[in-house]
Structure 1
């Protein structure tokens, strides 16, 4: 990072009197010798503080229409969301906030019907110029004993969607499916689902369908999966709940084979080392200060396979990647090293890259052609690429410089949106006009390759080769109700033969068929290793081992498949990538094996069209942009086509709807818990201070404590009696129940003070203790379990007191028949006596100083949150993991994506909560001042 380039280029947030950000001012330049340009993002709010309009720097003061406009109902629900990229969507909510009807700019219309419990029972869809069809039906379990035995009461048991029918046969106590069956449609095109189940079954393929079974541990983590091919995956965890090993037993095999083992983690939960089933040991080294990855190595029997070293600038942008395991090569009058370098502008957009590539073309929408390993040094060349973007973050020019392969690609962007109008490459490629439908979906990859979209704005088909007789080579895609692709059918035509390839995507396995071949690809992911087992049940090709083939993938920091190894650690294939995902060069040991490589850049599948499928949408690496708007709205900024903020070396987008830099997002996702803990503790302090002035309040709180502690200890006693007969077992059970009571009480405003002391404690305001408690909450079962284990660990001094108290209570219950909460009540009485005598001035001063420290921490956190969001280049995002996926699914159902009611983690929401918490701290300081004056009036 050039200090001169970034000099005087801050990011400035301008807030109104309500604390809402109305302007964001950034300064851009890519040349230190030039003056910085001002780029302003504007937000507009209504009187209630809801965001109603947003402009990016490109459209700011240039067009009357904002990038995103939202109109709300009187109840605060979004009625109309209008995007210059994605078009408009109109929603009609019901009395309970559920979406009854919705329309979009393409003319599609949906109507959802609910039962008396507000569960959806059917969804009707009417695409433009088509008849109304029943596209989804839902069936729920009844209250019979049969349903109860499988935990199906009130739960979804059958879901008919656009791909077929999903049957959930049983749920675990953790509400996750134990057994489910996917049945596909006989005719894959979207049906009109009849009312009766038997009539719906007629539309499905014959047979029992594809069944998947799971087994879970006590924390709800899967420990076994039996896929549709009856292959068994087994997952082992350590005592901290972290994945330790994965094994696989193929159907019909006598023994289980270890795929990955010995996973070792650092304190941040990052995988530092692991051993694959082919004995390849992978190691990752992280910077202890920043947590950034500095090297990735892989070796077997003393032989080094991969040694990737990473260099960063001060803010975390990757500036250099070097693979020291690859030799320096000489050819075509060049010295070619396995070194890539990168530069950035002041907005951290990639501006240039250098590296090595093969002689053939690599910039067109097609699958790459693989060479034989080892690759010929004469076929590798040094290259450099330079990128230019407009004010809205759209790539407008790419200049590729290389011996015998220089070209310039120009992209023309629409004036009033971020849609691509046309693109051309030098003089050899004519202008490729890019047209979009009303919802912003690209209509063709290039002349002759048209794209078809379903009513949900999901890519339904691609014409691969267009012919005059209409017999076009094509690929069709089909999705489940969650928008995930579950089926792909490719049809190609020869002179007198039609070839069909089909892929069915099921949990843990892909079933691939073509002509007389049937292949089951079992997929596993553990740590930094992805494993694919190719198991042929019919038509196994020659050149492949009789028992199938194991493929271990060694990935880079983005998850891109760099090396593929077999079960003996011999090289199958290797591939290197351009910064934005195109293949720079690839080689394999045989053409047959190369044909079965499907996972490439970012760990994603590249289709025959050249598009990468990411889960929620498709990416065109030669255009360096998505081909449809972000379905999650503006979580990655107002440009809905931009790929990871134009910084593809630093960020990934695992699902096509949310760019990620894991460490930063993880810390931001944790912060609301920390903020809530601060707010709760200061609230309790304020409650204590209020009552310290009034003697009646102190006495009232004392009796509340008596009642609460009596109830809590009665429950603890019952648990102790039911536990093991030993004192330690009884004490542990009693402590567990006591901790649970306190945790539940702390969840509610009305009872939060019950588990707290009557007399204020300065230690409760310790920032370190607050952060520690916030990182292990009831919303995090693993964290809570770890904290609980520590709370009953007799090696801890504080725990010894807890166990001693619990053991004494239990002993008194056994021997003396004592029932009650004598110890906590004695402590409460002592504290009440101290409170009645008044809080001394020295104590008040220490409390005030503690609040000052907390307030300073929050001020620092406010700046850090702004810096984190600036680094990410977004204003909001969905959290990683199950919770984030559930929040996004809920927003999709309620049509809250992209508006103020969404379940995203946003800069605005967090800053508002910080402001509220600091106001609570200020009230506490005012109470301390009043209490001090009160004491003075009494002569204390």
Structure 2
């Protein structure tokens, strides 16, 4: 690519006087039309209170339409959201900010043109005010149908038996859309140790929906199948999994190194001997994996760019001394542009071949436009079908991609120069939204909307294939008019698939029941005996996807029972090379950029049928769709089958896949694309500012995904001891710390001194909890109250907390209490402390928003009051910080004095009081 393609194509954001982004301008330049440039403007409008009211992408704005319209409450929570792609949704919360009522799948064409014929209404029921207010039931009603109770929650009590298994206060039984999930035992660190699942008795019947009518479990259990599936786990003190026993008694065992990173693993069929899955792993200082050796004695090594730490090489080989002989099996090299987009992928383990006077190299070359959308790809594909792994004829292909102003993929043009073969795949996009279909299904944009549900789910897959959806927007059934392929799916309440049944021509088919770490597959064929296959998932902690195939009955003669299949993946997790437990090749597969199969070869047809995990590490169904966890993906069209259930986290186009950059980005669950380097476990040395000590902490680098009109923000989370977690931006520790938690005072907690040269302050929004005359009168309305000390005196200030943090001032309140001391109080986890909230808070560290930088310390767990008071406290937090070398010049204690203080009407700053 020429550097001139990107010259004078900045991304520009315009802000209004309130600091709200009202325009986002991007400049599109295509390599084939350079230097012609098109300005793409995304517009945002806000209400008087500064909350988003509407947004329009460049394409729909030109058509006089908006992409998103919002009506919010006074706190900014959306009450009504109209999405051009996902339809309209109305959502109400109760006084405790819990979901109370929602209506989705409303088809709208304006503020007064709502069509409720497909609407789904949901209402939540909670415990009364004398209890903690936990959810009890969720009722759903599809328009024109009677209401159904789709979920029930049963909570653990305080009996001795429940306390013995740590079930007090836990959700012990969840009656959901798939059946019943029970938690029978929980570890001290909150991990489920024993889980039981029972499906609906009629789970295999398409159209059966859960309806938990009745007054208690005795009534609800009548709708369940008799078979119960029990999964057992063993964890260590850090919540790392040590062993798993699945529902069929098969065992897995795991080991970790001193940094807590996966080191080795084993698997054993029930009553059988252990087999090694991962023999050894090694890592570099920043946590990147360097080497992984498997039970088939195949070695995989990894290389990284020195300056960027991007993955540069994945090499898989049978090393010298291997029983099957030394051999380089796969050697993937990645080249990037300066912005991290993949430019070239080469497999050095494959030889350059020639066919019809064409040089066919084992590489893929990619080209982008100025928005980093993939516009062309050159690679290799099969010139003819071949079953043998080593007898494949390759030819070169070229693919070009065209997009509209909203990022919809419009056209794929494919050519094969050696044969002169060429074809086009074209899509037709609606004029009202980003909904689109293949031109084989519709002839004009006006026909598109009728083939989507009100919630943005596609109704037709191909001519003769219709799609049915659940009330929650999950694909329920694929039906073909000819009856040659039908599939039915069932999901749990999280939207994860638990059952798949399929038939071909009413003769053969397959049923797959998905359990934790186990798949139960039942095969039936009119010409063959039925087969029962148990697939053991063994890929926890390693990059290769490993599965053990245990045939209970109907095993094909060509394969061995209890076969281990090692799938070696590329940067995106796509299964490229598959080996058995002896290191012999079972299959090879290569992919077009958007996921179609370009090269496929297997050692035999039966061995090839055993491969189910393919592009991006996902399962491909018989329909050709890839199941990602929350959505289905159409690889032949490069777009999702339904609108994004996560909303606009990746832009206003809810159907765009992988930001039109599928070789650089992956999508783990079908919600939002990320580069594989953006989320990773690692251990790093963190040097505390102002202190000589060096702290080595295992931590996660978290990429927080703000709404589309904001910037992506990365921050670091590190655990400090058992009770605390420290959050900081990637710039490292700052001079200021905010401690956020709920708090409670107790008579055994004493005053603690303020370190010399250190300032300490705290603020809260709950003025009704403080009655001190010198403070309470300043705590009216919604104003924040701030009390700050420098070790001499106190003075309260009535001012917004953010302003006070930025000002960093010290105040005085003479005679309020002993100078230089503050009252200690116990800490427990504040319910609103989560990654989204903390990322929003830490984003204030951005230089363009504030010159004041700070870190955040939270309490990791929420426990019962008697235990919590003895575990975590303000003094304990200060102590663990000092012990690990974090010396902050100013510490701010932000506490939202929670449920434990509802009976206490005062907090006297002159002394600690018992509650």
Q: Normalization by structure 2: what TM-score?
A: 0.73
| Larger helix share, 1 or 2 | 1
Q: Which moved more, 1:908-917 or 1:75-84?
A: 908-917
**Which residue is equivalent to 2:297?**
279
1:341 corresponds to: 365
- Judging changes above 3 Å, is the alpha-carbon distance between structure 1 residues 645 and 904 closer, same or farther for their aligned structure 2 residues? farther
Alignment of 1:26-175 (within 5 A): 26-31=26-31, 33-63=34-64, 65-104=65-104, 105=106, 106-116=118-128, 117-175=132-190
Q: Distance in 1 between matches of 2:449 and 2:753?
A: 74
Specify whether residues 44 and 277 from structure 1 end up closer, same or farther in structure 2 by C-alpha distance, changes over 3 A only.
same
> Equivalent residue of 2:350, what SS?
coil
Match of 1:681 among 735, 739, 742: 735
For 1:236 and 1:885, how far apart are their aligned partners in 2?
Answer: 34
CA gap 1:916/1:324 in 2 versus in 1, 3 angstroms: closer
Q: CA RMSD in A?
A: 3.5
How much does 1:390 deviate?
0.3
Q: For residues 814-868 of structure 1, what are the alpha-carbon distances to aligned partners after superposition, in whole Å with 9 as ceiling and x for unaligned? A: xxxxxxxxxxxxxx89xxxxxxxxxxxxxxxxxxxxxxxxxxxxxxxxxxxxxxx
Cα contact 1:271–1:528 (8 A) shared by 2: no
Aligned residues: 714
1:397 and 2:397 aligned: no
> How far apart in 1 are the matches of 2:210 and 2:44?
43
Kept in 1, the 8 Å contact 2:425–2:637? The answer is: no
Aligned to 1:233: 252
How far apart are 1:330 and its partner, in Å? 2.5
Q: Does structure 1 residue 258 correspond to structure 2 residue 276? A: yes
Counterpart of 1:528? 543
Higher relative contact order (CA 8 A, sep 6+): 1
Q: Deviation at 1:281?
A: 0.7
Q: Is the 8 A contact 2:196 2:231 kept in 1?
A: yes
Change (3 A) 1:186 1:664: closer
| Superposed counterparts of 1:498-577, under 5 Å | 498-515=507-524, 516-525=530-539, 526-546=541-561, 548-577=562-591
Q: Are residues 598 and 320 of structure 1, via their aligned partners in 2, closer, same or farther at CA, if it must alter by over 3 Å?
A: same
Contact 2:715 2:839 in 1 (8 A): no
In the superposition, the TM-score normalised over structure 1's length comes to 0.71
- Name the SS of the counterpart of 1:543 in structure 2: coil
1:268 alignment counterpart: 286
Moved over 6 A (4+): 431-434, 676-680, 742-754, 756-759, 883-888
Distance 1:472 1:919 in 2: 65
Gap change, CA 1:37 and 1:437, over 3 Å in 2: same
Task: Note the C-alpha offset of 1:680.
Answer: 7.6
Q: Is structure 2 residue 476 aligned with structure 1 residue 460?
A: yes
**Higher share of residues assigned strand:** 2
Q: Residues 12 and 916 of structure 1: is their aligned pair in 2 closer, same or farther, counting only changes over 3 Å? A: closer
For structure 1, list consecutive stretches of 5 or more residues without a partner in the other structure: 361-368, 685-704, 713-741, 760-827, 830-882, 889-901, 922-926, 928-940
Return the offset for 1:540. 1.5
Q: CA deviation at 1:911?
A: 5.2
Flag the 1:522–1:752 CA change in 2: closer, same or farther, 3 A: farther
Q: Which residue of 2 aligns with 1:382?
A: 396
Q: CA shift at 1:501, angstroms?
A: 1.3
1:408 alignment partner, SS class: strand
Which stretch of structure 1 is more off in the superposition, 194-203 or 445-454? 194-203
Q: Does 1:296 align with 2:314?
A: yes
Q: 1:226: how far off?
A: 1.1
What secondary structure sits across from 1:58 in the alignment?
helix
CA distance in 2, matches of 1:613, 1:758: 62
Offset at residue 49 of structure 1 (A): 2.1
Residue 73 of structure 1 deviates from its aligned partner by: 1.9
Shift in Å, 1:110: 1.1
In structure 1, the partner of 2:650 is 636
CA contact (8 A) 2:630 2:669 kept: yes
Are 2:361 and 1:317 equivalent residues in the alignment?
no
Q: Please list, as runs of the form range in 1=range in 2, the aligned pairs for 1:441-840 lying within 5 A after superposition.
A: 441-463=457-479, 465-467=480-482, 473-494=485-506, 498-515=507-524, 516-525=530-539, 526-546=541-561, 548-664=562-678, 666=701, 668-670=713-715, 673-674=727-728, 681-682=735-736, 707-709=751-753
Cα 1:489–1:509 shift into 2, 3 Å = same
Q: CA deviation at 1:228?
A: 1.1
Contact 2:386–2:392 at 8 Å: present in 1 too?
A: no
Show the 5 A alignment for 1:244-255: 244-253=263-272, 255=273
Per-residue CA deviations over 1:449-476 (Å, capped at 9, x if unaligned) read 000001001000111x323xxx563100
**Which residue of structure 1 aligns with residue 241 of structure 2?**
222
Secondary structure of the corresponding residue to residue 4 of structure 1:
helix
Give the equivalent residue in structure 1 for 2:694: none
1:789: which partner in 2?
Answer: none
Give the Cα separation in 1 of the matches to 2:140 and 2:624: 31
Following superposition, the deviation at residue 224 of structure 1 comes to 1.2
Q: In the aligned structure 2, how far is the partner of 1:401 from the partner of 1:153?
A: 64
Q: Distance in 2 between matches of 1:434 and 1:650?
A: 34
| SS of equivalent to 2:219 | helix
